[in-house]
């Protein structure tokens, strides 16, 4: 690591032991938490960091000269430096704290909207989360921007030829996910960025999943903006971050007005602070930022390649065991995908699957996963999703598969009984 910290070999069982909640039971069975793509659990290091800040050294930041204010400001800005290190940003000033990935995307969209002209084009992909769709729709509604959709292939991969064909001199923004929250697809974001820049467009990468399950390096990617959220990175809710190049951040006007984001305020004029503070109006999420910094410090203590390999091995194990299950369809099987297993079962609604699996202590997500255009592209009205994290084990994967096979078997028996009565 750049700061000289020791990176330790990854042990899933040792990592799991650092999450207090994972020792509980649900419906009389050990908790198998497979909903980390929605929100991950928190290690003791994060819990301690937030509790310690509240109980030992808390004050508002940037606004006092007393000891507590200085200590809290140091911890808050230290968290910003940790995010910069995690993303390999050029400097701490490239990192803007937000309340999450959604706010970060909205900040960029609102700023870009000040210069959007009717007919200007914005490209998103069919696999985007609503958070990376709706803000751009707002520019379509308000300013006449044209929203264009990069297609997804049947295996869940992005149609790169189709994407490149959409680029024109009118393309202003390309906004794509690093990793799909439904398909697990990891997009070739460096190549996407290269092609978009060649066409004269700016690039925003939604890294809310990719920051967790890939290894983002924003300087290597070359994107203009990269977004992450804390609660999927084993940190608290209510905190996220926007990375932007110095030039890209400078191109955005202030978004919200208030304290901290100004240099001077007079009766007839106002001048604004430089990035990142110009985008952080009011009292920031202090404790949440400290918690995010603790989560990233904890996460960066592991060998990232080993973590990724562990998660993908769990996915591969579960996927192999599910081969041949009647009526099962897995959505997204692109090469190199992340450890997200989204599926449907003939004759069963996803909500029913999730509720039945909960009886076995297995927590999975069900529904549209905030990705309606993708659901329509894949021809489904809902699906269930098991998402693996670094604290999951082979026993978790087996418990998930066992519960799903029991559910599928009961459906098969029901269909057989119905056929006997025809």
Please give the positions annotated as active site.
370
Token code pair at residue 175? 């906004």
């Amino acid at each position: 690591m750049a700061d000289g910290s020791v990176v330790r070999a990854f042990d899933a069982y040792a990592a799991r032991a650092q999450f207090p909640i994972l020792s509980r039971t649900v419906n009389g069975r050990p908790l198998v938490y497979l909903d980390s793509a929605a929100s991950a659990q928190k290690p003791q290091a994060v819990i301690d960091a937030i509790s310690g800040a509240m109980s030992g050294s808390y004050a508002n930041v940037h606004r006092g000269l007393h000891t507590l204010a200085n200590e809290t400001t140091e911890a808050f800005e230290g968290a910003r430096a940790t995010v910069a290190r995690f993303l390999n940003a050029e400097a701490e000033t490239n990192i803007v704290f937000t309340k999450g990935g959604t706010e970060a995307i909205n900040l960029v969209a609102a700023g870009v909207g000040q210069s959007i002209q009717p007919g200007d084009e914005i490209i998103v992909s069919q696999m985007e989360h609503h958070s990376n769709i709706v803000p751009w729709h707002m520019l379509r509604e308000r300013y006449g921007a044209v929203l264009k959709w990069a297609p997804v292939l049947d295996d869940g991969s992005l149609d790169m030829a189709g994407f490149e064909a959409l680029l024109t001199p009118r393309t202003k923004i390309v906004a794509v996910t690093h990793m799909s929250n439904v398909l697990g697809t990891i997009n070739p974001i460096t190549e996407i960025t290269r092609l978009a820049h060649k066409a004269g467009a700016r690039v925003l990468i939604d890294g809310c999943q990719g920051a967790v399950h890939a290894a983002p390096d924003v300087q290597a990617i070359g994107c203009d903006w990269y977004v992450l959220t804390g609660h999927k990175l084993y940190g608290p809710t209510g905190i996220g971050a926007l990375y932007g190049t110095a030039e890209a951040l400078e191109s955005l006007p202030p978004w919200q007005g208030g304290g901290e984001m100004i240099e001077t305020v007079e009766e007839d004029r106002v001048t604004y602070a430089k990035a990142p503070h110009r985008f952080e109006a009011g009292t920031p999420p202090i404790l949440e930022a400290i918690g995010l910094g603790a989560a990233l410090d904890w996460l960066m203590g592991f060998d990232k390649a080993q973590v990724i390999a562990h998660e993908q091995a769990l996915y591969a194990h579960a996927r192999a065991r599910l081969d041949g299950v009647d009526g099962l369809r897995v959505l997204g099987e692109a090469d190199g995908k992340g450890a997200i297993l989204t599926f449907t079962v003939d004759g069963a609604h996803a909500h029913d699957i999730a509720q039945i699996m909960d009886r076995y202590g297995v927590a999975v997500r069900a529904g549209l996963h905030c990705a309606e255009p993708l659901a329509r592209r894949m021809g489904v009205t809902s699906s269930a999703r098991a998402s693996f994290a670094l604290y999951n084990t082979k026993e978790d994967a087996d418990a998930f598969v066992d519960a799903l096979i029991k559910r599928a078997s009961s459906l098969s028996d029901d269909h057989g009984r119905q056929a006997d009565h025809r």
